[in-house]
C-alpha cells in the first residue's frame, strides 16, 4: 500500500539574525492511508512545526514531503493553496471560528474559497454538524457555544472538503478531560466512517491509547516509534 504521507530527511532552520535554530533535524517517516498517528513529545521539540510542514502551512529548509502522491515542494503558492484546501483538513488547539458567522456558516467557509457554493455543499455541512452532534446548533454563533461545541464545529469545518488527511495540532489542549475524551472519540469514529488518515500532535497521553502508531520526538528528531496492529 502506497503511503499517503511521505516525509524524507526533513530539516527546518529558523534564522533569527545572528542565531540559527534547527527545529527539525532530518525527520523521515511514512503514513499509510487511514492510519491514526499520534506525534508526542515535550514542548519545543518540533512537533507542531513538523505538522505545519506536512500540511503545507510552512516550508522546510531541506527535505521533502509528499502528500497523497503530490510533491508539495513543487507547487506554486496558488497551487499549494488550492491543494491544501482540498486535500488537508486542519484542527488546531484554538478553534479559530469567525465570531460573526453561525456554526453552519463557519463549516461552509473552506468549501467556497476556490469554488462556488452549492446546495450539495450546504447539505453536507448540515450532515457533518449532525455527525458531530450539533445538528440543533446550526444557527448559533461561537459565543453561544461551549468550548467543546466550538471545537466540534472546527472538526466539521475541517471535513467539509472531504480531505483524505486530517491534521490536528493539540486539538484537546483547551478542553477539560471529559470534552477531550469526547472529541478524541469523535475524531476516531470519523476516521473510520470517512476512511481518513489522522495525524495528531498532542501532550495528552489518553490520545495515544487507540492510535495505530505513536511517534515520539525529542530535540527535533524521532527517538521512538511504536506500531500497533
pLDDT in tens, 47-70: 889 999 998 888 899 999 998 888
pTM of the model as a whole = 0.87
What is the domain count for the chain? 1
pLDDT-based confidence at 114, cuts 50/70/90? low
CA distance 152 to 131: 10
Closest by CA to 214, choosing from 206, 73, 224, is: 224
Span 88-93, average pLDDT: 82
Per-residue pLDDT, 58: 85
Exposed / middle / buried, residue 52 (Cβ in 10 Å: 0-12, 13-18, 19+)? middle
**49-58, 111-120, 123-132, 149-158: which range is least confident on average?**
111-120
Per-residue pLDDT, 229: 64
CB 97 within 8 A of CB 146: no
- DSSP assignments along 17-45, one per residue: TTEEEEEEEEEEEEE-TT-EEEEE-STTS
What burial letters (b/e) apply to 141-169, b meaning 16+ CB within 10 Å? bbeebeebbbbbbbbbbbbbbebbbbbbb
Residue 192 sits in a domain whose CATH number is 3.40.50.300
Domain range spanning residue 78? 5-227
CB atoms within 10 A of CB 9: 13
Amino acid at each position: 500500500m502506497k503511503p499517503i504521507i511521505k516525509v524524507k530527511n526533513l530539516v527546518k532552520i529558523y534564522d533569527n539574525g545572528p542565531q540559527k535554530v534547527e527545529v527539525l533535524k532530518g525527520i523521515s517517516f511514512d503514513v499509510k492511508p487511514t492510519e491514526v498517528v499520534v506525534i508526542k513529545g515535550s514542548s519545543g521539540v518540533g512537533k507542531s512545526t513538523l505538522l505545519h510542514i506536512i500540511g503545507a502551512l510552512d516550508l522546510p529548509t531541506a527535505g521533502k514531503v509528499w502528500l497523497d502522491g503530490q510533491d508539495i515542494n513543487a507547487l506554486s503558492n496558488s497551487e499549494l493553496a488550492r491543494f491544501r484546501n482540498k486535500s488537508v483538513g486542519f484542527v488546531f488547539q484554538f478553534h479559530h471560528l469567525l465570531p460573526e458567522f453561525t456554526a453552519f456558516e463557519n463549516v461552509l467557509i473552506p468549501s467556497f474559497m476556490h469554488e462556488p457554493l452549492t446546495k450539495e455543499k450546504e447539505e453536507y455541512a448540515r450532515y457533518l454538524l449532525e455527525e458531530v452532534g450539533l445538528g440543533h446548533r446550526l444557527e448559533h454563533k461561537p459565543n453561544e457555544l461551549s468550548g467543546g461545541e466550538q471545537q466540534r464545529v472546527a472538526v466539521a469545518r475541517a471535513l467539509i472538503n472531504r480531505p483524505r488527511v486530517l491534521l490536528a495540532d493539540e486539538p484537546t489542549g483547551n478542553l477539560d478531560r471529559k470534552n477531550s475524551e469526547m472529541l478524541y472519540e469523535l475524531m476516531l469514529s470519523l476516521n473510520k466512517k470517512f476512511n481518513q488518515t489522522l495525524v495528531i500532535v498532542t501532550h495528552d497521553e489518553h490520545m495515544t491509547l487507540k492510535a495505530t502508531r505513536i511517534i515520539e520526538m525529542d530535540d527535533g528528531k524521532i527517538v521512538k516509534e511504536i506500531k500497533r496492529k
